Amino acid sequence: MSDLDRAIEQLRQCRPIPELQVREICFKAREILIEEANVQIVDAPVTICGDIHGQFHDLMELFRVGGDCPDTNYLFMGDFVDRGFYSLESFLLLLCLKVRYPDRITLIRGNHESRQITTVYGFYDECIRKYGSANVWRYCCDVFDYLALGALVIGAGSSVQPTRLADGEDAETKVREAEDEVEIEVIGLGGVVTRQMSRRDAGMINSTNLTPSALPHLSSSGPAGALLTGVPGTGASGNSRGIANSNTPTNTGGAVLCVHGGLSPLIDSVDKIRLLDRKQEVPHDGAMCDLLWSDPEEIDGWGLSPRGAGFLFGADIVKQFNHLNNLTLIARAHQLVMEGFKEMFDSSIVTVWSAPNYCYRCGNVAAILELGEDNSNAVLRSGGEEVLFNRENTRRLASTYMGGSMKRGGPGRRYRVFEAAAQDSRGMPSKKPMPYYFL
C-alpha cells in the first residue's frame, strides 16, 4: 500500500494526516491542477456534486449513495471548506483522490476556496486548531489558486436508464408512456425511485406541481416508491417534444457547463473563461469573482447581488448564454436549496446542493446529479470540444432552432437525494454540533 493510499485510508476515518504529508500532497496536486484548463473537459458519465462545506460524515454518505471514487467519475463544484467541523479532512480526502485518480475526479473552485473567506468562515481556525500553525492552511490555499474555474461535461445522453423499482417491477412501466425515454429521474431517500419523467411529461409540467409538499425525511406521508408526476424544483417545460428525435445532434444531452456560482456580465462565451488568468486569490470583482459568486434570480438581465460580490442574472441571460455556447444546461452550486436541487428557467440551469442539514441547522436534504453516457449516436461527442465550439457549427445549430427562441432538451438527469449521516456514524470522531441560534 502506497503512502498515498494510506493517507486516503486515514482520511476516510476522518483523521488528519501529518503536516509534512499534507505539504507533499498539496505539491503533487498543484502539479496536476496546473495542467488543467480553466474549463476542464469531462466526459460523461459523471456525478456532479455541490457544496460540501466540511461536513465530512455527509461526504461519506455522498460516496455511499453515489458510489466510491474511482468507480464513479465525480465532479465537485467547489466550497469544500468552511462552516462544517471537518473542512480539513474533507478537502484533503478529495485532494488525495485527485492525486490518486486524476481522471476520475474533477475539483473546481468555489468562492470559499479563498484566503479571505476561509479566515472568516472557519477553515483557517480549524487548521490552527488541528496543527497549531497556519502552515497547512497556507498549503491548501496555494492549491485553491490552481483549481479550475469550471468544467464542461460532454457526451451526456439525452435520457437516463430507468432504475428498477425496489419490488423488482420495472419502473419504465410506470412512466406515462412506457416507450418514452426518461429525461429526469429522482431517487429519494433510501434509494427509492420517487419520480420518473419522460420528455413528454416534462413538457406538461406546470409551476403548480413543482414544489415538493414536504421534505421526505421529516414527513410521514407519501407512499414510498410511488411515481409522482412532478419533480421538486423542476421548471422543466417547453417544447422538448420532437427534439428527442434520434436523427438530430440533440439526441446527445449536449454540453453541460459546471461552475460554482454562475455567469458574469464580462463573460459571453465559454472561450472567454479560458482566457482568464486564474492562478491567483479570488479577486473582489471581475469575471473570475463573478463565476464563483453570482446567483440566478427571477429578474430580467443583470442585478446587484446582496452578497456583496458577483451578480444576479435572469432567465434571458442563461438562455442566451446556453444558446450561444451550444449548452443544454448549466449546473452550479453556491445556494442552499432545501430539496437538494432546483432547476430554473425551463431547466436551463440547475442548482445542486450536497451539504445535508447545512451547518447542522438548516434541516435540508442534499442531492447529487448523475449525467449518463450517450449510448445512441455520439455525433457531438466524437468531435468533442472542437465541434462544440466551432463557430460554423454553432451558427448551423442556431439557424436550425430559430435563433434566440431555440429550445432544446436537457441531458438525461438522475438526481439522488440524501440526508445527513447519523451523528455517531461508523465510529468516526464526531464533534457534537453546536450551531448558533439567537438566545
Residues carrying an active site annotation = 112
**Which range, of 66-74, 172-180, 229-237, 331-339, touches another protein by CB under 8 A?**
331-339
Decide: is 360 part of the binding site for another protein (CB under 8 A): yes
Decide: is 439 part of the binding site for another protein (CB under 8 A): yes
Interface residue with another protein among 363, 398, 401, 425 (CB under 8 A) is 363
Q: Of 40 and 118, which has the nearer Cβ to another protein?
A: 118
Decide: is 20 part of the binding site for another protein (CB under 8 A): no
Q: How far is the CB of 308 from another protein (least distance, A)?
A: 5
**What is the amino acid identity at position 414?**
R
CA separation, residue 365 to residues 214, 216, 360, 401 (Å): 11, 9, 11, 37
Q: How far is the CB of 363 from another protein (least distance, A)?
A: 3
Decide: is 307 part of the binding site for another protein (CB under 8 A): yes
Give residue for cell 444546461. Answer: 329
Identify which of 62, 113, 96, 87 has the alpha carbon closest to the alpha carbon of residue 334.
113
CA separation, residue 44 to residues 99, 154, 274, 373 (Å): 20, 6, 21, 5
Q: How far is the CB of 249 from another protein (least distance, A)?
A: 37
Taking residues 418 to 437 in sequence order and writing x for each that binds another protein by CB under 8 A, - otherwise, the string is --------------xxxxxx
Taking residues 117 to 136 in sequence order and writing x for each that binds another protein by CB under 8 A, - otherwise, the string is x--xx---------------
Q: How far is the CB of 128 from another protein (least distance, A)?
A: 14
CA separation, residue 417 to residues 42, 190, 192, 366 (Å): 23, 9, 10, 6
Q: Are 112 and 121 in contact (CB under 8 A)?
A: yes
Q: How far is the CB of 112 from another protein (least distance, A)?
A: 7
d(CA 216, CA 332): 23
Decide: is 112 part of the binding site for another protein (CB under 8 A): yes
d(CA 323, CA 95): 34
Interface residue with another protein among 135, 161, 335, 377 (CB under 8 A) is 335
Residues 6+ away with beta carbon under 8 Å from 18: none
Decide: is 18 part of the binding site for another protein (CB under 8 A): no
Taking residues 232 to 271 in sequence order and writing x for each that binds another protein by CB under 8 A, - otherwise, the string is ----------------------------------------
Interface of this chain with another protein, residues 186 to 225, rule: CB under 8 A = 215, 217-218
**Which range, of 9-17, 35-43, 275-283, 301-309, touches another protein by CB under 8 A?**
301-309
Q: Are 370 and 66 in contact (CB under 8 A)?
A: yes
Decide: is 398 part of the binding site for another protein (CB under 8 A): no
Side by side, the strands of the sheet bearing 74-76 are 105-107, 74-76, 46-49, 366-371, 413-418, 182-187, 193-198
Interface residue with another protein among 4, 338, 398, 428 (CB under 8 A) is 338
Decide: is 1 part of the binding site for another protein (CB under 8 A): no
Q: Of 128 and 362, which has the nearer Cβ to another protein?
A: 362
Q: How far is the CB of 336 from another protein (least distance, A)?
A: 4
**Which range, of 5-13, 32-40, 224-232, 305-313, touches another protein by CB under 8 A?**
305-313
Residues 6+ away with beta carbon under 8 Å from 220: none
**What is the amino acid identity at position 382?**
S
Q: Is 293 helix (H, G, I), strand (E, B) or coil?
A: helix
Q: Is 236 helix (H, G, I), strand (E, B) or coil?
A: coil
**What is the amino acid identity at position 51?**
D
Decide: is 362 part of the binding site for another protein (CB under 8 A): yes
Q: Are 126 and 87 in contact (CB under 8 A)?
A: yes
